[in-house]
A and B are shown apart, each in its own frame.
Chain A
Amino acid sequence: AQSVTQPDIHITVSEGASLELRCNYSYGATPYLFWYVQSPGQGLQLLLKYFSGDTLVQGIKGFEAEFKRSQSSFNLRKPSVHWSDAAEYFCAVGPIQGAQKLVFGQGTRLTINP
Chain B
Amino acid sequence: GAVVSQHPSWVICKSGTSVKIECRSLDFQATTMFWYRQFPKQSLMLMATSNEGSKATYEQGVEKDKFLINHASLTLSTLTVTSAHPEDSSFYICSATGQGEDNEQFFGPGTRLTVL
Which residues of A does B touch, CB under 8 Å?
A: 32, 34, 36, 41-46, 49, 51, 90, 94-95, 99-102, 104-107, 109
A99 to chain B, nearest CB (A): 7
Q: Is B93 an interface residue (CB 8 A)?
A: yes
State A34–B6 Cα separation when bound (angstroms): 22
State A73–B6 Cα separation when bound (angstroms): 33
Show 29 A/B contacts (Cβ-Cβ < 8 Å), sorted by A: A32-B102, A36-B107, A41-B112, A42-B109, A42-B110, A43-B93, A43-B109, A43-B110, A44-B44, A46-B104, A49-B104, A51-B102, A90-B43, A90-B44, A94-B103, A95-B103, A99-B49, A100-B32, A100-B49, A100-B97, A100-B103, A101-B34, A101-B46, A102-B46, A102-B103, A105-B43, A106-B43, A107-B41, A107-B42
Please classify the interface of chain B as helix (H, G, I), strand (E, B), loop, or mixed, using the class held by over half of its residues.
strand
Residues of B within 8 A of A43 (CB): 4, 6, 93, 95, 107-110
Q: How many residues of B contact A (CB 8 A)?
A: 24
Q: Is B70 an interface residue (CB 8 A)?
A: no
